[in-house]
Amino acid sequence: MMDPTEIRLEKSRRVLVVEFENGERFDLPCEYLRVFSPSAELRGHGPGEPKLAAGKRDVNITRIEPIGQYAVALHFDDGHNSGLYSWETLLELGREMESNWARYLERMEAAGLER
């Protein structure tokens, strides 16, 4: 497993910058991180697609809390702060952002929900 060499919030852009030791770098929008939270609230306790979180377009991160040497807890300004973003989760979210986001937008449209 690769560790991040940098995790930096660019609050004005609403982006979490994550760079890994292999040089992979991702600019992860706060909205994306919020709607793909690894929390049980959205993921549930089994397989399947996560619950849809609508109305998160302008969400931002207020605090990044290190959890040991393997994860961070992200505190969002909408009060959400459950779910640990492990290094593996952040890497996966970065690598799969394009397909994850496209599927999320499809699901939102099908449900008639707004970002």
Say if residues 73 and 84 touch (Cβ distance below 8 Å).
yes
* pLDDT value at residue 45: 53
* pLDDT value at residue 33: 98
> Nearest-CA neighbor of 89 among 33, 25, 10?
33
* pLDDT value at residue 39: 85
What are the CA-CA distances from residue 54 to residues 22, 45, 80, 112, 114 (Å)?
34, 20, 13, 10, 6
Would you kindly state where each structural domain of the chain is located, as residue ranges? 4-111
E-state strands within 11-60 = 15-20, 25-29
Range 4-111 classified under CATH 3.30.2020.30: yes
Kindly list the averaged pLDDT for each block of 10 residues, start to end, along the chain of length 115: 95 98 98 92 66 94 97 97 95 97 96 94
